[in-house]
């Protein structure tokens, strides 16, 4: 649970939600699939060593479950899965399998005791696979029965469930549960649902499967609504959110674990077990191993979201609650000022204080003028070293 003193969000969220504030009471489980679904991002290929290092980082972050891999992809993935299973992590280690005995057996060989079992459930997907409803139902029954008989926990994952015939979707979930699946996932494979539709579907599925079966939400971000849809799904009864670090994944990516957890904790009063202070370090680690960078203004993890150039903002630096929605320290960051053409006199004050430099107030206007000139000429920022050099010069001196 977030320290309320680190939140500067006001009280309107609580007023708007009324009796629904902090419902469900939580904590909501965070299921991370960076090492499997995230790696499906175009051009990303994580080594076994990278996967193990990221798994340790995810454990520090406090995710409840780590989907270690899909071992039938390669021998390297299988090896990484074995190492992660035996790493002594606090998080539960899960695997991924298609509705095939061979996939289940590959996980068992790696020591995995809990698994997603997926199968297509929309007529679009079934048509693309040239598979009938009867055939897919038989495969689901066979694979789930096989896994459960081997002592595995199973979450059935209905691919493209948000575009499936709803009656068939419900029947498939019931069939999977009847042969031993203990959990089910509502899957927005193509990221097509708005938050209201996500809530409608999850509520309907929860009623159909009953309160004893945990329901997951697995969403994608094709319309930029993955976080909002995930929150709507939780409020409608989903007790697990599946996602990835940075939203990494194919097409427009997956639900961002860190964003959902922060929004639930801070804006809805719904707790998770995520340790928000580690979210930026894990984000950076995954970027380094995957070979991409995020937009600097990316929520929670963007490079510049706690960096300010504006002089108007610098004048409020002594009161972070006036310029931030939450304390930078909450996510392991620091509030800092940079200098450029948008700086003001208070920017000079703040920057000098950052370096412990005494600068006579009479010099601020001349120093600011030079900072603005340099920033405008290069269409960029003035570095810290350049600022120190300006202060050391006689600019603005008497």
Are 324 and 254 part of one and the same domain?
no
Are 255 and 314 part of one and the same domain?
no
* pLDDT for position 398: 60
- Same-domain pairing of 318 and 228: no
**Beta-bridge partner residues of 97:** 117
Residue 131 lies in a domain: yes
336 and 265 within one domain: no
Q: H helices within the chain, ranges in order? A: 12-17, 48-61, 75-85, 101-109, 123-128, 133-149, 166-178, 195-209, 226-235, 257-267, 279-290, 311-314, 345-354, 364-378, 384-392
β-partners of residue 117 are: 97, 156
**pTM score:** 0.94
Residues 85 and 193 both lie in one domain:
yes
What pLDDT shows up at residue 200?
A: 98
Q: Which helix (H) or strand (E) holds 51?
A: helix 48-61
The number of beta carbons lying within 10 Å of the beta carbon of residue 379 is: 8
Are 11 and 117 found together in one domain?
Answer: yes
- Domain membership flag for residue 154: yes
Q: How far apart are CA 302 and CA 296, in angstroms?
A: 4
Phi-psi region of 51 (alpha: psi -120 to 50; beta: other; left: phi over 0): alpha
CB 89 within 8 A of CB 63: no
Helix (H, G, I), strand (E, B) or coil at 157: strand
Tell me if 119 is assigned to some domain: yes
Give the CATH number, domain containing residue 192. Answer: 3.20.20.70
Under a CB-based contact definition with an 8 Å cutoff, are residues 215 and 202 in contact?
Answer: yes
Structural domain includes residue 398? no
Contact 303, 310 (CB under 8 A): no
Q: What is the pLDDT of residue 104?
A: 98
In a domain, 318, yes or no: yes
47, 74 Cβ separation under 8 angstroms:
no
Q: Last residue of some domain: 290, 322, 339?
A: 290
Residue 298 lies in a domain: no
Tell whether 283 and 185 lie within a shared domain: yes
Helix/strand/coil for 335: coil
CA distance 134 to 132: 5
Whole-angstrom distance, CA of residue 325 vs CA of residue 264: 14
192 is a domain residue: yes
**What residues make up the domain containing 381?**
307-392
CA atoms of 67 and 40, how far apart (whole Å): 13
Closest listed residue to residue 95, CA positions, set 124, 74, 66, 122 = 66
- In this structure, are 47 and 165 located in the same domain? yes
Supply the DSSP symbol for 94.
Answer: E
Q: Is residue 397 part of a domain?
A: no
- CA 283 – CA 302 distance, rounded (Å): 9
CB 6 within 8 A of CB 329: yes
- The tens-digit pLDDT sequence of the chain (398 residues) is 788 999 999 999 999 999 999 999 879 999 999 999 999 999 999 999 999 999 999 999 999 999 998 999 999 999 999 999 999 999 999 999 999 999 999 999 999 999 999 999 999 999 999 999 999 999 999 999 999 999 999 999 999 999 999 999 999 999 999 999 999 999 999 999 999 999 999 999 999 999 999 999 999 999 999 999 999 999 999 999 999 999 999 999 999 999 999 999 999 999 999 999 999 999 999 999 999 999 999 999 999 999 999 999 988 988 999 999 999 999 999 999 999 999 999 999 999 999 999 999 999 999 999 999 999 999 999 999 999 999 889 787 76
Q: Do 99 and 243 share a domain, yes or no?
A: yes
Peptide linkage before 262 cis (omega within 30 of 0):
no
Is residue 233 within 8 Å of 217, Cβ to Cβ? Answer: yes
Give ∠ CA 8-384-326 in degrees, rounded to 5.
10
Domain identity same for 192 and 89:
yes
Give dist(CA 47, CA 66) in Å, integer: 17
d(CA 24, CA 261): 14
260, 227 in Cβ contact below 8 A? Answer: yes
Which of 290, 318, 352 is the endpoint of a domain? 290
Q: What is the domain count for the chain?
A: 2
Neighbours of 335 (CB within 10 A): 17
pLDDT for 299 equals 97
Boundary of a domain, candidates 290, 317, 351: 290
Q: DSSP per residue over 115-139, as a string? A: EEEEEE-SHHHHHHTT--HHHHHHH
311 lies in the same domain as 181? no
Return the biggest CA–CA distance within the chain: 89
Residues 285 and 324 in one domain: no
What DSSP character marks residue 383?
P
Q: What is the pLDDT of residue 2?
A: 87
Peptide bond into 150 cis (omega under 30): no
Nearest to 167 by CA among 115, 205, 119: 205
Q: Do 257 and 228 touch, CB atoms closer than 8 A?
A: no
- Per DSSP, the chain holds a count of helices (H) and strands (E) of 15, 10
H or E element, residue 337: strand 336-337
Give dist(CA 160, CA 55) in Å, integer.
27
């Amino acid at each position: 649970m977030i320290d309320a003193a680190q939140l500067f969000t006001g009280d309107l969220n609580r007023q708007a939600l009324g009796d629904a504030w902090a419902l469900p009471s939580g904590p909501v489980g965070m299921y991370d699939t960076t090492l499997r679904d995230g790696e499906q991002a175009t051009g990303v290929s994580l080594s076994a060593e990278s996967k193990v290092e990221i798994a340790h980082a995810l454990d520090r972050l406090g995710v409840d479950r780590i989907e270690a891999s899909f071992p039938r992809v390669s021998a390297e993935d299988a090896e990484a899965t074995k190492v992660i299973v035996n790493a002594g992590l606090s998080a539960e280690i899960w695997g991924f399998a298609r509705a095939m005995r061979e996939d289940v057996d590959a996980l068992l060989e790696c020591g995995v005791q809990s698994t997603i079992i997926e199968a297509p459930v929309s007529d679009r997907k079934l048509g693309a696979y040239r598979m009938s409803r009867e055939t897919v139902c038989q495969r689901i029954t066979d694979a789930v029965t096989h896994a459960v008989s081997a002592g595995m926990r199973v979450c059935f994952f209905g691919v493209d469930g948000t575009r499936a015939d709803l009656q068939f979707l419900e029947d498939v979930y019931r069939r999977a549960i009847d042969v031993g699946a203990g959990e089910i996932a509502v899957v927005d494979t193509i990221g097509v649902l708005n938050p209201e539709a996500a809530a409608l579907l999850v509520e309907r599925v929860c009623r159909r499967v009953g309160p004893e079966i945990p329901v997951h939400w697995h969403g994608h971000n094709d319309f930029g609504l993955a976080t909002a849809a995930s929150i709507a799904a939780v409020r409608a009864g989903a007790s697990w959110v599946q996602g990835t670090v940075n939203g990494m994944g194919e097409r427009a990516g997956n639900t961002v674990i860190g964003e959902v957890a922060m929004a639930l904790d801070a804006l809805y009063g719904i707790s998770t077990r995520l340790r928000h202070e580690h979210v930026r370090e894990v984000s950076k680690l995954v970027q380094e191993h995957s070979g991409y960078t995020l937009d600097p203004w990316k929520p929670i993890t963007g490079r510049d979201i706690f960096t300010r150039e504006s002089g108007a903002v610098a004048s409020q630096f002594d009161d972070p609650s006036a310029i931030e929605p939450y304390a930078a320290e909450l996510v392991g960051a620091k509030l800092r000022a940079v200098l450029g053409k948008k700086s003001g006199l208070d920017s000079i004050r703040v920057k000098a204080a950052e370096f412990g430099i005494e600068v006579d107030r009479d010099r601020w206007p001349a120093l600011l003028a030079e900072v603005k000139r340099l920033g405008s000429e290069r269409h960029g920022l003035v570095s810290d070293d350049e600022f120190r050099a300006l202060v050391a010069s006689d600019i603005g001196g008497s």
